[in-house]
């Protein structure tokens, strides 16, 4: 484990850095406001300002650094997952994060961190963010991909810092409202573990009533797993002139609750919290897969060049000494080939690991037998005309004497049309036995034949089964 770590954070407006070392207080400062087109209308002036900003940031992270994204650019989710296996937890957390992701899963980067472990499962916090935003933060920090040690979330560094300073006690349910640049973040923390995190938008537009309402809703979503769920602490972190009016939210949340405003912790101190998390070996890492692929490609090219050089050297040695020590040369050649095979083993293991993860994700994502897919299959079986569907029930209920996976009610202008519909359903790859449970019976008032069908999914013996 490293003895020191550097962190660069962004609140969406400015950048700050801090260096933390074991046994000493962190040191840091501001890297200034991130240049934007609003400040530099001239394109050349903007590029010059960006280059200067990147140069300044790079000078603080020559040996590598952890970068942390602001809460406004990320989505947080805390779940209790029924597993303790790392591979299953990774697949489950990704599957849960995909439900909240505003972009296709290919365009986001997701990671998780274990908060608590129990006999029946694991409490994890999952974070996902657009890969493009993460890459933009890296570029603004002046870091090459190989220099990025870890990608963390700013709010987790803030929580870690406040716990170390005893501002958060870790002894019950606590609420934190932290200022991040122009935005504010709400966090519900139970016994030191964040169970709910969300951006509240611009701090200047917030009122105490907004904070109280958001906190009450958050406490409903982030249910307490320990204790009675009573709030014992409300911490408001940020500029006093912005946070002091929000303190009136305390009695709206709980009658006896009082708020504590912290305005003496600077953003570089928050960067120190992120750096401390890296020293502690926290596992959350939003390091995009694209970066990993580029690093692997660079490593492969280096190894390939060394391999070519080694092969050329071996060939020269073979030519030079073939007549003198043939047995020795052949032995050395075999050893070289063995080493090359071993260098490919990590890549093979990585492919096998990825294949296993895909299988796990596929197991949790199969929707072949969902109600919507079954209804679509029923629609495909409709005759061209003369039939109406009046009721569709997808229950999957089974008994000792009958199975009623799908129940369909409808009417037809002729019995032949109803029987044609049954024949079409029986030809479906999803359905097995299809039978009339009622009708077709002629309805004198409507002048149509009414019927009711019971449809079963195919069993394993027939080539498939409902899930």
Averaged over successive runs of 10 residues, the pLDDT of the chain (467 residues) comes to: 80 82 78 80 82 79 83 90 88 84 85 90 91 88 86 92 90 92 92 91 92 90 74 92 91 90 81 86 89 86 81 74 65 82 81 74 58 82 84 66 74 90 88 89 90 84 45
Residue 417: inside a domain? yes
Helix, coil or strand: residue 203 = helix
Q: Which of 361, 424, 360 is nearest to 389 (CA)?
A: 424
At 446, which CATH number? 3.30.1360.100
State whether 378 and 355 are in the same domain: no
State whether 376 and 449 are in the same domain: yes
Residue 406: inside a domain? yes
State whether 318 and 401 are in the same domain: no
Residue 302: inside a domain? yes
State whether 378 and 435 are in the same domain: yes
State whether 398 and 322 are in the same domain: no
Residue 86: inside a domain? no
State whether 381 and 437 are in the same domain: yes
State whether 348 and 403 are in the same domain: no
Give dist(CA 174, CA 126) in Å, integer.
20
* Total count of domains within the chain: 2
Q: What's the domain range around 318?
A: 289-363
Q: Which of 81, 56, 89, 60 is nearest to 284 (CA)?
A: 89
Of the three residues 311, 337, 363, the one that is the final residue of a domain is 363
Residue 322 is predicted with a pLDDT of 64
Residue 367 is predicted with a pLDDT of 58
Residue 130 is predicted with a pLDDT of 92
Of the three residues 363, 379, 394, the one that is the final residue of a domain is 363
* Total-model pTM: 0.62
Residue 165: inside a domain? no
Residue 76, CA distances (Å) to 93, 127, 234, 420 in order:
11, 5, 20, 52
Give dist(CA 417, CA 100) in Å, integer.
45
Helix, coil or strand: residue 107 = helix
Residue 303, CA distances (Å) to 235, 337, 351, 465 in order:
52, 14, 19, 49
Residue 23: inside a domain? no
State whether 383 and 349 are in the same domain: no
Residue 407: inside a domain? yes
State whether 451 and 380 are in the same domain: yes
State whether 451 and 377 are in the same domain: yes
Residue 451 is predicted with a pLDDT of 93
Residue 176: inside a domain? no
State whether 356 and 378 are in the same domain: no
Residue 452 is predicted with a pLDDT of 93
Of the three residues 334, 363, 392, the one that is the final residue of a domain is 363
Residue 62 is predicted with a pLDDT of 64
Q: Which distant-in-sequence residues (6+ apart) come within 8 Å of 152 by Cβ?
A: 7, 66, 67, 68, 69, 274, 277, 278, 282, 284, 285, 286
State whether 355 and 383 are in the same domain: no
């Amino acid at each position: 484990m490293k003895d020191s770590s550097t962190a660069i954070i962004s609140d969406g407006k400015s950048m700050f850095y801090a260096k933390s070392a074991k046994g000493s207080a962190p040191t840091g400062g501001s890297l200034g406001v991130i240049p934007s087109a609003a400040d530099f209308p001239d394109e050349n002036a903007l590029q010059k300002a960006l280059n200067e900003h990147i140069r300044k940031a790079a000078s603080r992270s020559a040996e590598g650094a952890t970068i942390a994204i602001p809460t406004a650019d990320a989505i947080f989710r805390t779940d209790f997952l029924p597993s303790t296996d790392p591979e299953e937890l990774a697949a489950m957390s990704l599957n849960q994060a995909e439900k909240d992701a505003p972009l296709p899963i290919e365009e986001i980067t997701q990671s998780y961190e274990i908060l608590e472990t129990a006999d029946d499962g694991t409490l994890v916090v999952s974070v996902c963010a657009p890969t493009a935003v993460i890459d933009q933060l890296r570029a603004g920090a002046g870091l090459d991909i190989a220099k990025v040690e870890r990608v963390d979330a700013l709010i987790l560094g803030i929580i870690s810092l406040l716990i170390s300073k005893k501002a958060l006690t870790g002894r019950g349910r606590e609420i934190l409202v932290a200022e991040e640049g122009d935005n504010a973040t709400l966090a519900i923390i139970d016994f030191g573990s964040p169970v709910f995190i969300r951006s509240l938008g611009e701090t200047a537009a917030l009122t105490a009533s907004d904070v109280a309402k958001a906190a009450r809703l958050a406490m409903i979503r982030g249910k307490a797993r320990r204790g009675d769920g009573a709030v014992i602490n409300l911490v408001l972190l940020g500029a006093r002139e912005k946070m002091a009016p929000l303190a009136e939210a305390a009695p709206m949340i709980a009658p006896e609750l009082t708020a504590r405003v912290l305005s003496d912790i600077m953003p570089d101190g928050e960067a120190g919290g992120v750096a401390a998390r890296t020293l502690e070996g926290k596992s959350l890492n939003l390091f995009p897969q694209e970066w990993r692929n580029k690093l692997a490609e660079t490593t492969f090219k280096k190894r390939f060049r060394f391999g070519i050089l080694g092969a050329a050297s071996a060939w020269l040695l073979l030519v030079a000494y073939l007549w003198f020590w043939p047995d020795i040369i052949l032995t050395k050649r075999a050893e070289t080939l063995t080493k090359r095979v071993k260098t490919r083993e990590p890549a093979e293991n990585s492919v096998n690991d990825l294949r296993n993860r895909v299988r796990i994700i596929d197991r949790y994502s199969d929707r072949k037998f969902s109600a919507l897919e079954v209804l679509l299959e029923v629609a495909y079986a409709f005759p061209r005309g003369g039939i109406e569907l009046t009721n569709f029930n997808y229950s999957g209920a089974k008994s000792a004497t009958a199975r009623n996976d799908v129940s369909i009610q409808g009417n037809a202008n002729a019995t032949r049309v109803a029987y044609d519909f049954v024949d079409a359903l029986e030809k479906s790859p999803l359905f097995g036995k299809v039978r009339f449970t009622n009708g077709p019976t002629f309805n004198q008032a409507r002048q149509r034949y009414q019927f009711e069908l019971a449809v079963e999914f195919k069993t394993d013996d027939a080539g498939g089964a409902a899930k």
